[in-house]
Amino acid sequence: MTAVVRFLRGATLLGQAPCDPTSTLLQHAERAGLSLAYNCTSGTCGSCMVTLLTGTVTVPDDLPPGLDDVLVDEGARLACIQCPKGDVDVDVRPPI
């Protein structure tokens, strides 16, 4: 069975796409027909931040300016630079 990346807002499923561990969450969202907020595509601005609900999304050893340890501990991930590993559910939050 193919792993899936699901995008939710609360309990509402906004869209989903088959998981490709070489593609970012932003690319998965586009494949699912969603338009997530983003700006820099380098992890600097944080406008593409989503919340990881379930599953695993890579976290770089050296966090980019758009993330810090507290945010990561709370499930924050940057859709423009981070890739899912298997089944993943993310909550799409408004830009901060």
pLDDT digits over 17-31, tens only?
999 999 999 999 999
pLDDT tens for each residue of 37-65: 899 999 999 999 999 999 999 998 999 99
Residue 67 above 60 pLDDT? yes
- Nearest to 82, CA basis, from 34, 38, 33: 38
CATH number of 4-92: 3.10.20.30
pTM to 2 decimal places:
0.92
Residue 94 above 90 pLDDT? no
- Nearest to 78, CA basis, from 58, 62, 61: 58
How many Cβ atoms from other residues are within 10 Å of residue 67's Cβ? 20
Residue 96 above 60 pLDDT? no
The answer to whether 1 and 83 are in contact (CB under 8 A) is no
Give the domain ranges of the chain: 4-92
